[in-house]
Amino acid sequence: MIKTNLAALTAMLMLVAGMAHADPVEGIWKTKPDDNGNFGHVQVKPCGPAFCGTLIKAFDGSGAQIESPNVGKRIIWDMVAQGGGAYAEGKVWSPDRNKTYNSKMQLSGNGLAVKGCVLGICRDGGTWSRVK
């Protein structure tokens, strides 16, 4: 009985400790509409020492959920926390242009400003809003 209670307590403490150390960028973010008017929900979570984001839902311009071959694909990777809500050294893939940008992000409250450049051409990915 004591071993069972100790195991349960240990598991609970590990869960609480993990939640207490969650980075503010972790969660689900609504992207700004792309060139086609579509937007998505990107789930950001740790991947090794950095952060990655995967497209988990896609929506058309009216907000109706749509099927997309991009759901399940990685949109953000290798994004490293710099402090003060800044993230850099990562990549962001833009499905509407099929381009991968050297990117940075800036977290401010429930907004995540995303910017990136490829071959000297820069694109403002807009400010994504927190869904969850």
How many distinct structural domains can be found in the chain?
A: 1
Look up the CATH number of the domain holding residue 112: 2.40.128.520
Residue 34 lies in a domain: yes
Q: How far is CA 126 from CA 20, 108, 111, in A?
A: 29, 13, 10
For residues 88-103, one letter each, b for 16 or more C-beta atoms within 10 angstroms of the residue's C-beta and e for the rest, the string is eebbbbbbeeeeebbb
In a domain? residue 4: no
pTM of the model: 0.81
pLDDT score of 15 = 36
Whole-number Å distance between alpha carbons of 35 and 54: 19
- Does 12 reside within a domain? no
Q: Would you say residue 32 lies in a domain?
A: yes
So what's the pLDDT on residue 125? 87
Per the domain annotation, does 90 fall within a domain? yes
Q: Residue 17: pLDDT band by 50, 70, 90 thresholds? A: very low
Give the pLDDT band of residue 22 (cuts 50, 70, 90): confident
Range of the domain at 57: 23-130
The reply to whether 65 falls in a domain is yes
